[in-house]
Amino acid sequence: MSPPRKLHIKSYGCQMNVYDAQRMVDTLAPEGFVETASAEDADLVILNTCHIREKASEKIYSELGRLRAMKEEAALGGREVTIAVAGCVAQAEGEEIIRRAPVVDIVVGPQSYHHLPQLLARARRDGRALETEFPVEDKFGFLPPPKPDAIRARGISAFVTVQEGCDKFCTFCVVPYTRGAEVSRPVAKIIDDVKRLVDNGVREIMLIGQNVNAYHGEGPDGRPWPLGRLLDRLAEIPGVLRLRYSTSHPLDVEDSLIESHRDNPALMPFVHLPVQSGSDRILAAMNRRHTAGEYLEVIERFRRVRQDIAFSSDFIVGFPGETAEDFAATLALVTQIGYAAAYSFKYSPRPGTPAADMRETVSQPEMDERLERLQQLIDSQQSAFNLAAIGTTVDVLFERPARKEGQIVGRTAYLQPAHVMASSDIVGKVLPVRVESLERYSLLGHLAARPPLAAYPHESRMITGA
CA 249 to CA 255: how far, in whole Å? 14
Cβ–Cβ under 8 Å, residues 172 and 141: no
* Identity of the residue, 169 or 343, whose beta carbon is nearer to ligand SF4 in the bound complex: 169
Q: Which is it for strands 442-447 and 430-439: parallel, antiparallel or unpaired?
A: antiparallel
Cβ–Cβ under 8 Å, residues 205 and 160: yes
Of all residues in the chain, what percent are helix, strand and coil, respectively (each to 5)? 40, 20, 40
Least gap, CB of 173 to ligand SF4 (angstroms): 3
Which of 106, 109, 110 has its CA nearest to residue 118?
106
* Identity of the residue, 350 or 458, whose beta carbon is nearer to ligand SF4 in the bound complex: 350
CA 16 to CA 49: how far, in whole Å? 11
Give first-to-last CA distance, the chain, whole Å: 61
| Amino acid at site 446 | H
Upstream peptide bond of 247 is cis (omega within 30 degrees of 0) = yes
Residue 214 touching ligand SF4 (CB under 6 A): no
* Identity of the residue, 210 or 460, whose beta carbon is nearer to ligand F3S in the bound complex: 210
Least gap, CB of 250 to ligand SF4 (angstroms): 10
Residues 6+ apart with CB under 8 A from 399: 155, 156, 157, 409, 410, 411, 427
CA angle 142–148–153, rounded 5-degree value: 110
Q: Which is it for strands 310-317 and 157-161: parallel, antiparallel or unpaired?
A: unpaired
Cβ–Cβ under 8 Å, residues 214 and 169: no
Least gap, CB of 292 to ligand SF4 (angstroms): 16
347, 367, 411, 445: residue in contact with ligand SAH (rule CB under 6 A): 347
* Identity of the residue, 356 or 426, whose beta carbon is nearer to ligand SF4 in the bound complex: 356
Q: Which does 350 bind (CB under 5 to 8 A by kind): ligand SF4, ligand SAH, ligand F3S, none?
A: ligand SAH
Residue 47-86 contact track with ligand SAH, rule CB under 6 A, x = bound = -----xx---------------------------------
Which of 11, 97, 99, 87 has its CA nearest to residue 51?
87
Residue of minimal Cβ distance to ligand F3S: 13
Residue 130-159 contact track with ligand SAH, rule CB under 6 A, x = bound = ------------------------------
Residue 170-189 contact track with ligand SF4, rule CB under 6 A, x = bound = x--x-xx-------------
Q: Which does 348 bind (CB under 5 to 8 A by kind): ligand SAH, ligand SF4, ligand F3S, none?
A: ligand SAH
Q: Which residues pair with 34 in a beta bridge?
A: 6
Which of 288, 279, 278, 221 has its CA nearest to residue 252?
288
Residue 170 has φ and ψ, to the nearest 5°, of -60, 140
Residue 382 host element (H or E): helix 364-387
Least gap, CB of 345 to ligand F3S (angstroms): 11
Residue 249 touching ligand SF4 (CB under 6 A): yes
Residue 350 touching ligand SAH (CB under 6 A): yes
163, 184, 210, 412: residue in contact with ligand SF4 (rule CB under 6 A): 210
Residue 206 touching ligand F3S (CB under 6 A): no
Residue 88 touching ligand F3S (CB under 6 A): yes
Residue 344 touching ligand SF4 (CB under 6 A): no
* Identity of the residue, 36 or 247, whose beta carbon is nearer to ligand SAH in the bound complex: 247
* Identity of the residue, 216 or 461, whose beta carbon is nearer to ligand SF4 in the bound complex: 216
CA 274 to CA 343: how far, in whole Å? 9
Least gap, CB of 20 to ligand F3S (angstroms): 8
Give the three-state DSSP class for 10: strand
27, 111, 178, 277: residue in contact with ligand F3S (rule CB under 6 A): 178
Cβ–Cβ under 8 Å, residues 194 and 160: yes
Task: Show contacts with ligand SF4 in window 153-172 (CB under 6 A).
Answer: 166, 168-170
Least gap, CB of 88 to ligand F3S (angstroms): 3
Task: Show contacts with ligand SAH in window 161-200 (CB under 6 A).
Answer: 172-173, 175
Q: Which does 178 bind (CB under 5 to 8 A by kind): ligand F3S, ligand SAH, ligand SF4, none?
A: ligand F3S
Q: Which residues bind ligand SF4 (CB under 6 A)?
A: 166, 168-170, 173, 175-176, 210-211, 249
Q: Which residues bind ligand SAH (CB under 6 A)?
A: 52-53, 172-173, 175, 210-211, 247, 249, 274, 276, 314, 316, 345, 347-348, 350
